[in-house]
Amino acid sequence: MKLSALAFLTLAARLVSAHYVFFTLTVNDAPVDGAVRIPGFPTPLMDVTSPDIICNTDTTPANTTATIPAGSKVGFKLNPNHQPMITHPGPAAFYMARVPDGLTAAEWDGAGGKWFKVRNHNLRSEIAEWGVKTFEPELEFETFHATELVASIPKGTPSGEYLLRPEGLALQMGWNGYHQVHMSCAQIKVVDGGNGTPGPLVAIPGHLPPDHPGLNFDVYSHPTSYQLNEYIPAQLYKRQQMPGPAVWKGD
């Protein structure tokens, strides 16, 4: 895709202005203060192989570890004083990782192959099912204009301490290999859990191959017509083709 100078400058301005931070954990719609590791500098990462992609850059342990019953609704609100809503096109996901024996959630950095996915935020259902193409690719994703992303702790999740991690992918310049990853980590303790076996387990970094087509993707390449089945993002971003592992349902 080739951009005019004006279009490129417009995109560049949007890149700078629309960096968001997952700031506040919510449990059943109630905010929990102090459970999120806040990055020292609010900027997304572009190197999916960097260890910083686990919980973001320059983070320190959060002040508290939130107690959450299995089956609860959880969410991450964006910082209203920074970028209050998501305005970049792209999907998002929620990951969890159980803290290794002998450590607490406050002590663990999240390294290793212990992460599993519990939620995808992908294309809106009507896009995925019918291939409706809009003129603004942002409108095709569930994350557009969201001030909070939500998921649920699967009821089958074993009790124990975990890191809970939202991950937002911004694809406004993915055609040039310039994808952005937004993430934070919350420290949580799951109680009243089940006997499920979370998986598949992946390592972070390592869960997003740099050459994955879902990362290096031109969301602004419009088709010549807007009829059914003549759409661009939906042909890669069907729910089963989203970057990362399959979602664990709690079994």
Query: pLDDT (tens digit, 9 = 90+) per residue, 129-152?
Result: 444 455 555 557 788 889 999 999
Contact criterion met (CB below 8 Å) for 89 and 142: no
Contact criterion met (CB below 8 Å) for 141 and 132: no
Best CA proximity match to 137, nearest among 18, 222, 237, 13: 222
Query: pLDDT (tens digit, 9 = 90+) per residue, 175-187?
Result: 666 788 999 999 9
Separation of alpha carbons 147 and 55, rounded Å: 20
Mean of pLDDT values over 185-212: 96
More confident call, 6 vs 71: 71
pLDDT band at 6 (very low <50, low <70, confident <90, very high): very low
Query: Looking at the domain that runs over 24-241, which CATH code has it been given?
Result: 2.70.50.70
Separation of alpha carbons 210 and 200, rounded Å: 20
Q: Rounded to whole angstroms, what are the CA distances from 69 to 33, 76, 158?
A: 17, 17, 10
Which token pair is 102? Answer: 């002998």
Query: pLDDT (tens digit, 9 = 90+) per residue, 48-86?
Result: 999 999 999 989 999 999 999 999 999 999 988 777 888
pTM of the full predicted structure?
Answer: 0.84
Separation of alpha carbons 152 and 20, rounded Å: 22
Predicted local distance difference test score (pLDDT) of residue 9: 37
Predicted local distance difference test score (pLDDT) of residue 166: 98
Q: Which residues pair with 116 in a beta bridge?
A: 96
